[in-house]
């Protein structure tokens, strides 16, 4: 039998705390899960440094990827199958794209991408199209199949309906991570009636739409998303850990560039430092490897690298104050000057971090980061953009919320063994007692 149609002799189930069970019956999916590139996602945490704020958030991207797959499987097999607007030939493609959509994520993606100018989406494409086990499995389905999977994930696939299942303002990706991250952190946000939303999803020519009767479940989902962003994803303590992590990477790079001699050669970082990361090098990076280096760098000669690594490993994070970059730039430069005088390098120890989110947006053609709005399928079969029907969504639609904080090492500022007066000045400016 054709590889793409092969079913496992017996369905495999994964016990999943969020969706109860993840079901796999297709051989292609089973084989993809078994590839080493997919197994590597077990060694990359879904929420990066969030576990330092919410200790339950230790779950991996492996978990999330299975979850997104399972959501798509249920939509396609239980809701879409048999509807004229849906082409069941797109089923396997949708499942594969769902499973693999995060394949290129590296360890602590956010910081790594920023410091080393990487892009996980680039690596997702590279893994799917390159010389990998994943590519081997996909190619067995068909010569063009890897390309199509890559296109769905890149949102360039011609069937926009399939694209919107995986990437839209109400896609399987978001529905999984909101629930999963809520489950593992233990917060009470993040709950919405996904079963209801799935049942009212309908395939249309170029997008998934939501039957009008499901509007309130969607409202609930959007509110969940809003709360998760501000209560969990942008939590200031997590951002503090992120700031330190970013500064560790900066420092290591800087040291390398200035010819510093590490006690143990940071081989895994070389290609990162030089900016040309080959796929095979990238695939060796995972959070164990990074934590290994942070562990040994606690014994490096360089004081800044050592200190930052100790802070990260032992969760001795920076404190913060609210900060308005537009109005307080003078205060900031004053603090920089004082930090230097106090012998605390502001490059590493005085950091502004900003977070910003748009909870929902209607369509703004031509604007950067165009977002597809959510459409309701009305009883008369017309489509209406969600915010025109929902008061609650309308009230937050298109409203970007931004938050800036200034991070600093409070312990150093209270160390009065040196530069006592300058540190007191700094504390006064920061309104520390």
Rule CB under 8 A: which residues touch a copy of itself? 13-18, 20-21, 34-36, 39, 42-43, 51, 54-56, 58-60, 62-63, 66, 183-189, 191-193, 195-196, 199, 216-217, 219-220, 223, 226-227, 230-231, 284, 286-292, 295, 310, 313-316, 391-392, 395-396, 399, 401
- Assess contact for 116 and 89: CB atoms under 8 A: no
Q: How far is the CB of 358 from a copy of itself (least distance, A)?
A: 12
- Please identify, using beta-carbon distances, which residue of 66 and 162 lies nearer to a copy of itself: 66
User: Is residue 376 classed as helix, strand or coil in its secondary structure?
Assistant: strand
Q: How far is the CB of 346 from a copy of itself (least distance, A)?
A: 26
Q: How far is the CB of 157 from a copy of itself (least distance, A)?
A: 28
Q: How far is the CB of 333 from a copy of itself (least distance, A)?
A: 26
Of the chain, the end-to-end C-alpha distance in Å amounts to 74
- Please identify, using beta-carbon distances, which residue of 9 and 143 lies nearer to a copy of itself: 9
Which segments of 232-286 does DSSP mark as H helices, in order?
Answer: 236-257, 267-274, 279-284
**Closest listed residue to residue 389, CA positions, set 402, 379, 404, 399:** 379
Give Dmax (Cα) for the chain. Answer: 80
Q: How far is the CB of 41 from a copy of itself (least distance, A)?
A: 10
User: Burial letters for 60-92: b for 16+ Cβ neighbours within 10 Å, e otherwise?
Assistant: bbbbbbbbbbbbbbbbbeebbeeeeebeeebbb
- Please identify, using beta-carbon distances, which residue of 66 and 75 lies nearer to a copy of itself: 66
- Please identify, using beta-carbon distances, which residue of 183 and 339 lies nearer to a copy of itself: 183
- Please identify, using beta-carbon distances, which residue of 241 and 338 lies nearer to a copy of itself: 241
Q: How far is the CB of 106 from a copy of itself (least distance, A)?
A: 14
Q: How far is the CB of 204 from a copy of itself (least distance, A)?
A: 18
- Please identify, using beta-carbon distances, which residue of 204 and 315 lies nearer to a copy of itself: 315
- Please identify, using beta-carbon distances, which residue of 167 and 227 lies nearer to a copy of itself: 227
> What is the C-alpha to C-alpha distance for residues 154 and 128, in angstroms, rounded to an integer?
12
Continuous segment of H or E residues that includes residue 322:
strand 319-322
- Assess contact for 372 and 166: CB atoms under 8 A: no
Q: How far is the CB of 54 from a copy of itself (least distance, A)?
A: 6
DSSP for 7-57, please give it. EEEEEEEEEETTTEEEEEEEHHHHHHHTSHHHHGGGGSBTTGGGGGTSTT-
Burial of 221 (0-12, 13-18, 19+ CB in 10 A): buried
Cross-strand bridge partners of residue 186: none
- Please identify, using beta-carbon distances, which residue of 184 and 269 lies nearer to a copy of itself: 184
- Assess contact for 162 and 90: CB atoms under 8 A: yes
> What is the C-alpha to C-alpha distance for residues 149 and 126, in angstroms, rounded to an integer?
12
- Assess contact for 44 and 286: CB atoms under 8 A: yes
**Closest listed residue to residue 48, CA positions, set 36, 60, 40, 38:** 60
- Please identify, using beta-carbon distances, which residue of 33 and 172 lies nearer to a copy of itself: 33
Backbone region of residue 155 per phi and psi (left: phi > 0; alpha: psi in -120 to 50; beta: other values): left
> What is the C-alpha to C-alpha distance for residues 131 and 136, in angstroms, rounded to an integer?
8
- Please identify, using beta-carbon distances, which residue of 20 and 330 lies nearer to a copy of itself: 20
Q: How far is the CB of 53 from a copy of itself (least distance, A)?
A: 9
Q: Tokens representing 402?
A: 């931004």
Q: What is the C-alpha R_g of the chain?
A: 24
> What is the C-alpha to C-alpha distance for residues 195 and 142, in angstroms, rounded to an integer?
33
Q: How far is the CB of 30 from a copy of itself (least distance, A)?
A: 12
Q: How far is the CB of 94 from a copy of itself (least distance, A)?
A: 21
- Please identify, using beta-carbon distances, which residue of 128 and 290 lies nearer to a copy of itself: 290
């Amino acid at each position: 039998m054709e590889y793409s149609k092969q079913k496992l002799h017996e369905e495999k189930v994964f016990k999943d705390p969020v969706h109860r069970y993840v079901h796999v019956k297709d051989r292609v999916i089973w084989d993809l899960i078994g590839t080493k590139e997919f197994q590597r996602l077990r060694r990359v945490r879904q929420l990066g440094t969030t576990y330092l704020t919410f200790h339950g958030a230790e779950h991996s991207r492996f978990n999330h990827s299975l979850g997104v797959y399972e959501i798509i499987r249920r939509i396609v097999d239980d809701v879409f199958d048999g509807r004229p607007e849906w082409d069941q030939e797109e089923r396997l493609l949708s499942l594969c794209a769902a499973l693999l959509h995060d394949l290129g994520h590296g360890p602590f993606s956010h910081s790594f991408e920023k410091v080393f100018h990487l892009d996980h989406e680039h690596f997702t494409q590279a893994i799917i199209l390159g010389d990998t086990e994943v590519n081997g499995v996909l190619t067995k389905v068909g010569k063009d199949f890897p390309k199509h999977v890559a296109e769905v994930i890149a949102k360039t696939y011609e069937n926009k309906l399939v694209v919107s299942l995986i990437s839209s303002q109400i896609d399987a990706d978001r529905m999984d991570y909101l629930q999963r991250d809520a489950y593992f952190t233990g917060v009470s946000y993040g709950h919405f009636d996904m079963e209801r939303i799935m049942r009212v999803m309908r395939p249309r020519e170029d997008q998934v739409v939501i039957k009008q009767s499901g509007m309130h479940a969607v409202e609930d989902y959007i509110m969940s998303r809003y709360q998760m962003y501000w209560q969990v994803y942008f939590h200031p303590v997590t951002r503090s850990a992120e700031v330190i992590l970013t500064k560790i990477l900066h420092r290591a790079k800087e040291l390398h560039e200035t010819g510093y001699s590490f006690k143990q050669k940071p081989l895994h970082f070389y290609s990162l430092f030089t900016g040309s990361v080959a796929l095979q090098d990238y695939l060796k990076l995972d959070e164990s490897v990074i934590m290994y280096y942070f562990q040994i760098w606690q014994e490096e000669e360089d004081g800044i690298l050592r200190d930052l690594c100790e802070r990260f490993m032992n969760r001795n994070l920076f404190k913060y104050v609210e900060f308005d970059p537009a109005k307080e730039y003078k205060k900031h430069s004053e603090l920089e000057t004082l930090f230097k005088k106090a012998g605390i390098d502001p490059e590493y120890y005085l950091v502004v971090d900003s977070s910003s989110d748009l909870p929902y947006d209607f369509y703004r053609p031509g604007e950067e980061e165009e977002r597809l709005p959510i459409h309701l399928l009305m009883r008369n079969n017309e489509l209406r953009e969600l915010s025109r029907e929902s008061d609650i969504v309308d009230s937050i639609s298109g409203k970007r919320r931004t938050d800036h904080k200034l991070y600093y090492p409070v312990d150093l500022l209270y160390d009065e063994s040196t530069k006592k007066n300058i540190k007191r000045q700094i504390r006064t400016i920061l309104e520390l007692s």
